[in-house]
Every structure is written in C-alpha cells, then in structure tokens.
Amino acid sequence: RLRRLLDYADNYRSHYSLSQVPLTASWDTRWVPSYLTYNNRPLRIRVLGTLVQLFYNVSLSRAPVLTVHADLLRTIDHWAMVRLLCRSHPRPREPAMVCIFHSCRYTLPHLAQCFRSAFDATDRLRPRSHMATLSITDFAPGDLVMVDCACTLRNSSNGTAVHFELLDIYLIARVPR
C-alpha cells in the first residue's frame, strides 16, 4: 500500500507523488502566486511522512492558517523536495529537513478548493466523499500522514520563494496512544 502511495503518478489529473513530479513541470505565471503546472494544469503533489508538528493559527486580522510539518519517509522524496525548493531565487542556503505545508490562501478554479478537512485513510484511500472526516485534533506527532499540496512560487523580500500549499491531509496510520 505504501509503495503505491509513494510512487503515485496520474498524468491525466496532474497528480503526482513528490518523487514523480515531472522534471519539465513549469510555473504558470497567469496566477498570483504562480503555480507549478504540467501540461497547463496545476499539479497536485502527494507527500507521505511522519507528522512532526501541526499548528493552527487563528487571528482576528487574518484568515486561519494550518501549518503541517512532516518528516519525509524516503531520501528520494527529500531530494525531490529540495529540487523544488531550489526553484526559489535566490536558492535556499540550507534546505529544510522536514517538509512544511501551509493551508492555502488562494483559490484556483482547477484545484477545486483550499484546505478544509482532514480524512481518515487508515483502512484504505478512497475518494474524499467516501471517507470519514477528522478534526485536526485527531492527529498526533508520529502519525503517518499523506498530504496533497500545490507548489507555489511567491514574491518575497529578497526574490521569490517556493511554498507547499496544503490541500488535503490524510491519516494513514496512528501511533499508539
């Protein structure tokens, strides 16, 4: 089961696991921020890892933001993440050791919606409409999670920076509680 999730590639839907993102994927600059696309469709990137931290920040002045830190399962996925992060200008001096996802602040019509729910995929991965939803409080450090995200390129104070926008989070396996 994990091998299928880790090596997932669906060219028709432009949905890929981190290590399968096409090398010829490019930035679509018609949107702000720019989205990583392949065949003129925004990519959905699937990432599996161990949950390190989960933050939910609510403020009166901004939209709520969910931030997920995950430790990737394989070295090949880590290097695929570094390859994407190196598309920033200037390149990061020290690439992150964990993958960081932020709930998306922008909506693209072809990505359907930004993050809204978490799903229980402990038995099997099915279409979202057929899975039970979870609260973010159902997750704990050490859980095996799968994150679907979009890769964006945003302007920053010293150039551009690559970000992973959280679209969906799935609980694959729980750590003993």
Q: How far is CA 165 from CA 1, 99, 147, in A?
A: 25, 11, 10
49 within 8 A of 99, measured Cβ to Cβ: yes
**For residue 119, with 0-12 CB atoms within 10 Å meaning exposed, 13-18 middle and 19 or more buried, which class applies?**
buried
pLDDT of the residue at 93: 63
- CA separation for the pair 155, 74 (Å, rounded): 30
Given this model, what pLDDT does residue 65 score? 77
Q: Which pLDDT tens digit goes with each residue over 35-69?
A: 899 988 999 999 999 999 988 877 777 767 788 99
Residue range 149-173, pLDDT digits in tens:
989 888 878 888 888 888 889 999 9
Give the best-scoring range by mean pLDDT among 23-32, 101-110, 142-151: 142-151
pLDDT digits (tens, 9 = 90+) for 75-129: 999 999 988 888 877 666 665 666 777 775 544 444 445 666 899 999 999 988 8
